[in-house]
Amino acid sequence: MPFYLDVLGVECSYGAVKVIDGMAFSIKQGCFAGIIGPNGSGKSTLLRCISRALKPVRGTVLLEGESLYKMSPREAARKMAVVPQETAVNFPFTVEEIIMMGRSPHLGRFQAEGKRDYEITGRSMDLTNTRHLAGRQVTAISGGERQRVIIAKALAQEPELILLDEPTSHLDINQQVEILSLLQRMNREGGLTILAVFHDLNLAAQFCDLMILMQKGKAYRVGKPEDVLTVDSIKEVYGTRVLIKKHPVTGRPAVFLLTRREGEVPGKGRIHVVCGGGAGAAVLGLLAEHGFAVTAGVLNMGDIDWETAKFLELEMTEEAPFSDISDRSYRENMEMIQRADACVLVSIPFGRGNLKNLEAVSRACAWGKPVLLVEEREIGERDFTGGEATLMYNQLKEQGAVVLQGGAEVPEVLAGLLQARL
């Protein structure tokens, strides 16, 4: 099958500044394609170029093999509709009148709107859920409603291709999903080809079949969402570290943002965090963010603390999933505690399987290392050993372990403790 839209070596400039520099990609008919990229990478300019608002200096765009720039404005408008980021209408047209304007490329100079035009306008209103607004003035409706009206106008054009520039950036999440689901339905059921600029990577990944990641006016990567949205490509193009997971429901890639991490600060100190499950994730992140050298253990593979440590690239003691702490990992954990300047025990529940963690902490106490206990819940509530854990835990307190109510002040308190020891 030949491609529907071919962008061939397009170059675009604003004055002397080259904004699009040799962009090339092709999309098939019936494709839902998304353009992503950092601010200033040329996404909107590319879209303006394809929408004929801007003529490329070099290269061309073909629509079904025919140069887009050689078509008459009317001819192009019958095939392609454009939804800008925001539309300001200064004159008090009614919503219906605005949507009816979508019919203008199909009407002759003296031709009045006919029955068919009213039918199509009505259908566009139904699809976009704007029928109840029909008689309202477009100047007096909300931004979200106005965007739906503009999309209805675009649909009334009966286009084969629809171009959208961040169509949902001014909408709340409910409206975002509503609009994009509508477009997805038009795409799947109506065979509408869609090319949209997205600011939100997750929205793009959810809805697009094809993604075009732009960097400095070029296509950095074009392909399926899972091939385009990778930790490395995001790091390369956006210069930021993210976590990419499969969306639990849709299976599409989902991007999680992370706070900026400065890296380990020499001399700040080495901290070992005894955690597990998901109780320690926040403390791990916080300590790493503050520049401590952090180790963790003993962690069962696949749990949240393990994933967090993995992601933060921390050294840790691992144990097989859902397994008790073995002698081998206990020893490994002890070695880490030995190397650390201080030890933190977070609010984990204790059962027979991880009692060895508590043992390890008491050894740290015995060695005279500062020990912090984060006590978000009373030990009694999380003791599943029949009192043994409570006993050991209270001994820690007697041995001089510092108790904190929450994890937030851990870095500060630790810094103070380590300072005092010097």
Binding site for another protein (CB under 8 A): 48, 51-53, 72-78, 80-82, 84, 87-94, 96-98, 101-102, 104-105, 107, 109, 112-113, 118, 132, 134-137, 139-140, 157
- Residue 72 vs 174, nearer CB to another protein: 72
- Residue 16 vs 249, nearer CB to another protein: 16
- Residue 26 vs 94, nearer CB to another protein: 94
Closest separation in Å from C-beta 9 to another protein = 21
Structure tokens belonging to residue 90? 């200064």
- Measured CA distances, 71 to 34, 65, 226 (Å): 25, 12, 36
Looking only at the bridges linking them, the beta strands covering 58-63 and 66-67 are antiparallel
- Residue 140 vs 265, nearer CB to another protein: 140
Q: Is 379 helix (H, G, I), strand (E, B) or coil?
A: helix
Structure tokens belonging to residue 8? 């061939």
- Measured CA distances, 185 to 148, 191, 193, 206, 209 (Å): 15, 9, 11, 14, 13
- Residue 97 vs 318, nearer CB to another protein: 97
Is the Cβ–Cβ distance between 271 and 344 less than 8 Å? Answer: yes
Closest separation in Å from C-beta 139 to another protein = 4
Closest separation in Å from C-beta 304 to another protein = 48
Closest separation in Å from C-beta 90 to another protein = 5
The string of DSSP letters for 203-250 reads HHHHH-SEEEEEETTEEEEEE-HHHHS-HHHHHHHH---EEEEE-TTT
| Residue spans of beta strands (DSSP E) within 278-341 | 293-300, 315-319
Structure tokens belonging to residue 108? 């002759």
Closest separation in Å from C-beta 207 to another protein = 22
Give me the residue label for tokens 């040329």.
42
Closest separation in Å from C-beta 137 to another protein = 7
- Residue 35 vs 271, nearer CB to another protein: 35
